[in-house]
Amino acid sequence: MAYTTNHTMLQQMREGKEESWTAFREFYKPFIVLRGNDFKLTSEEIDLLIQDVVLACFNEHILDNYDKSKGRFRGYLRTVIKRIALRIIAKRSPSHVAISADESEFEAEDDNVEQEWHAFLMEKALQELKESMDTLKYMAFEMYVLQGNDAKTVAKRLGMTPNQVYLIQSRTKKTLQDIIARLENELG
């Protein structure tokens, strides 16, 4: 799967291209869910958060207000998500409110954003890697690197030699690093 650069996607959204809105929602959904979990939103509230973030980008001209020269889009999006999450929390009935909508309570969660962003990038990179590789080679990489099985076990299960597993691991790690670097560059 090829990734459209973030700024190209944003421009297409500004131009009203419907497929770009779908791509935006699907691409950023995992990041929005991670942020929703930071605010301890319920699954229904997270669904509402996703919907409201996309609607806010459309209805409130959020995309028009984003200035690339003032910072990364993910920081801007993080602020939008936080504002909407706090609005959702504030709408809870008094008996359901376990936490207040005081923004100061959520400052600690902001520290996790970088970790969440890197997890989000890794998920996207692994998805792209998997789609671009031979299935058997990806299975070897997944079993050896991601699941932590030893090379002999992986080789035996997949009908390879341990040296083939090591070679796949080495080449695939380099490819994964390149994908992550490209995504980081494209997404800011």
pLDDT, tens digit, for every residue of 150-170? 999 999 999 999 999 999 999
Residue with more model confidence, 61 or 12: 12
- Buried b vs exposed e over 47-64: b needs ≥16 C-beta within 10 Å? ebbbebbbebbeeeebbe
Q: Is 60 exceeded by the pLDDT of residue 2?
A: no
Alpha helix ranges (H) inside 39-161:
43-59, 62-65, 73-90, 107-110, 113-132, 135-141, 151-158
pLDDT, residue 180, reads 86
Q: Is 80 exceeded by the pLDDT of residue 69?
A: no
Domains identified in the chain and CATH numbers: 1-111 (1.10.1740), 113-188 (1.10.10)
Mean pLDDT for the stretch of residues 122-145:
90
Q: Are 183 and 3 contacting, i.e. CB atoms less than 8 angstroms apart?
A: yes
pLDDT, residue 6, reads 63
Separation between Cα atoms, residue 69 and residue 67, nearest integer Å: 5
State the pLDDT confidence band at 101, using cuts at 50, 70 and 90: very low
* Least confident span in 7-11, 63-67, 107-111: 107-111
- Report the alpha-carbon angle 179-183-186, nearest 5: 140
